[in-house]
Every structure is written in structure tokens, then in C-alpha cells.
């Protein structure tokens, strides 16, 4: 009997596989709730600092993302200093003025009225980067698509974002920056790709729909029109 249990355990360890059933109804609902109520937060941040164990769980969630060739190309720069936040906000403001000028007259007023970042309001920012050299020059799975390492890093961002929703923490992804401004502010070498500037803090409220829909910028598309079968079909 002892020998058979031991063999069973060995077989389990040997294969490295475990049972992987569907989640029960409540657990499945929780996953969908995180997915469907997650928002890009700009203004709802509370000032309370995030406890270390919460930050740790968010980063562990990011670190559990899929990565091409298991290269785990991501790094995380945690920013709390007021001085850094002010400098980042200035870089954003400059880029945002450039962006505003790109929109046609009709949309420019609406663009100007939107709050597009929470850099100064969020108690924490996390800059997520991608190191293309993390696993040497030839990476399993990246041989035919050189961008797979950045895609892995984006998966890490989305994991963090969903974990944050479950923790009552809001996340806003700021992309209106000149790359060189953030690079020089944080001393990031040229070979490292800056993927995301995330503003992070507790929230009490979130928009029921994406803020850009609520504010009339752009509405949700009909999913039916984005699906086709067996071959490409032109879509809206």
C-alpha cells in the first residue's frame, strides 16, 4: 500500500500535471466580474498608500503572466516620490498639448475636457519595462515574431490590472508621453523597452462603462461584427 501511494506521488511529480477543472459558478463569476468591471482609472484614486503585501500580490500576478520561451522579460519600477511624479506629469502635459493639436476642431474641445492621467493623484506608479535580452539572443517562440517579448509584458500588465480590481485597487495606463522623457527621468537604458506607466491606488467608485463611452468620446462596438468564421471578412 505504501509503495503504491509513493508510486502515485512519483507519477504525479514526474508528469508535473495536476487536475484542472472548471471553476464553480461563484468562482467563475468572480473572474468575469474582475474582467467586466475593470476600468482605466484617472481620477478616482484615494490617497491612502498601498500596503506592501497588496503590492506584492499585484506584482506576483504580473509575474505569473505567460511569456514567450518563459523569458519573463518584465521589470517593475515602483515610484512614489513627489518629485518624480511632478516631472512625469510635466512630460505628460507637454505630450498632451501636442496630442490635442492633432485632433480636428470638432473633437478638440472634448479632448481638452477629458482627464487623461492620474499621475499626481495616485499614490503609486509602476513603470513596466521589457528587456529583449533577458533570455539571450535566440528565444523559443520569438524566432518568427520579434514582438512576442513585448506582448508577454503586456500580458503581465493585464494580470496586474485584474488582480488590482479584486483588491479594490484602481489602475490607469498612461501612454501620452515622449518615450525619451520617461527614459531620461528614470535612467532607463536604450536597449530596454518602456511598455507601460501605470497609476495605482485604492478606489471607492469606478465607471459602470469605460469613461470614454460615458463622456461621449466613443461607444462600445457590437461584438458580433468583430467575429468571423474560417477566413477573414472585412469588419467595421
Interface with a copy of itself in residues 109-138 (CB under 8 A): 111, 114, 116, 129, 131, 134-135, 138
Ramachandran category for residue 115: left, alpha or beta (phi over 0 → left; psi -120 to 50 → alpha):
beta
Return the residue of 50, 88, 95, 122 that touches a copy of itself, per CB under 8 A.
95
Stretch of 1-9, 45-53, 178-186 contacting a copy of itself, by CB under 8 A: 178-186
The nearer residue to a copy of itself, 3 or 196, going by C-beta atoms, is 196
C-alpha cell at 45: 484614486
Stretch of 1-9, 45-53, 180-188 contacting a copy of itself, by CB under 8 A: 180-188
Rounded to a whole number of angstroms, the minimum distance from the CB of residue 88 to a copy of itself is 12
**Three-state DSSP state, 124:** strand
- Among positions 182-211, residues that touch a copy of itself (CB under 8 A) are 186-189, 192, 195-196, 203-211
Return the residue of 2, 21, 48, 53 that touches a copy of itself, per CB under 8 A.
21
Our CA angle for 201, 76, 164, nearest 5°, is 35
The nearer residue to a copy of itself, 7 or 209, going by C-beta atoms, is 209
Our CA angle for 80, 149, 38, nearest 5°, is 55
C-alpha cell at 225: 461584427
Return the residue of 46, 76, 87, 132 that touches a copy of itself, per CB under 8 A.
76
Q: Helix 179-186 vs helix 82-102: angle between axes, to the nearest 10 degrees?
A: 170
Phi, then psi, of 194 in degrees rounded to 5: -85, 115
The nearer residue to a copy of itself, 132 or 212, going by C-beta atoms, is 212
List, in order, residues 6 or more apart from 18 with CB less than 8 Å away.
12
C-alpha of 90 from chain center? 22
Could you say whether residue 64 binds a copy of itself (CB under 8 A)? yes
Return the residue of 57, 87, 89, 120 that touches a copy of itself, per CB under 8 A.
57
C-alpha cell at 160: 496586474
CA distance 152 to 42: 25
Rounded to a whole number of angstroms, the minimum distance from the CB of residue 229 to a copy of itself is 5
Return the residue of 3, 5, 18, 105 that touches a copy of itself, per CB under 8 A.
18
Return the residue of 157, 198, 199, 200 that touches a copy of itself, per CB under 8 A.
157
Amino acid at each position: 500500500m505504501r509503495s503504491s501511494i509513493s508510486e502515485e506521488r512519483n507519477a504525479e511529480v514526474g508528469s508535473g500535471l495536476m487536475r484542472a477543472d472548471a471553476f464553480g459558478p461563484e468562482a467563475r463569476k468572480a473572474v468575469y466580474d474582475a474582467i467586466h468591471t475593470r476600468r482605466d482609472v484617472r481620477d478616482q484614486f484615494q490617497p491612502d498608500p498601498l500596503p506592501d503585501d497588496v503590492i506584492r500580490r499585484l506584482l506576483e500576478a504580473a509575474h505569473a503572466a505567460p511569456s514567450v520561451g518563459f523569458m519573463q522579460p518584465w521589470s517593475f519600477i515602483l515610484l512614489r516620490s513627489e518629485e518624480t511624479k511632478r516631472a512625469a506629469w510635466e512630460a505628460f502635459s507637454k505630450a498632451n498639448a501636442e496630442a490635442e493639436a492633432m485632433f480636428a476642431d470638432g473633437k478638440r474641445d472634448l479632448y481638452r475636457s477629458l482627464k487623461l492621467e492620474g499621475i499626481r493623484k495616485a499614490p503609486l506608479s509602476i513603470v513596466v519595462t521589457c528587456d529583449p535580452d533577458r533570455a539571450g539572443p535566440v528565444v523559443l517562440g520569438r524566432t518568427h515574431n520579434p514582438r512576442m517579448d513585448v506582448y508577454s509584458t503586456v500580458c503581465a500588465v493585464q494580470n496586474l490590472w485584474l488582480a488590482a480590481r479584486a483588491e479594490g485597487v484602481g489602475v490607469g495606463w498612461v501612454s501620452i508621453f515622449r518615450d525619451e522623457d520617461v527614459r531620461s527621468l528614470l535612467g532607463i537604458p536604450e536597449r530596454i523597452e518602456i511598455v507601460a506607466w501605470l497609476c495605482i491606488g485604492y478606489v471607492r467608485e469606478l465607471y459602470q462603462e469605460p469613461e470614454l463611452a460615458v463622456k461621449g468620446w466613443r461607444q462600445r462596438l457590437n461584438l458580433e461584427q468583430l467575429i468571423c468564421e474560417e477566413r477573414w471578412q472585412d469588419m467595421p
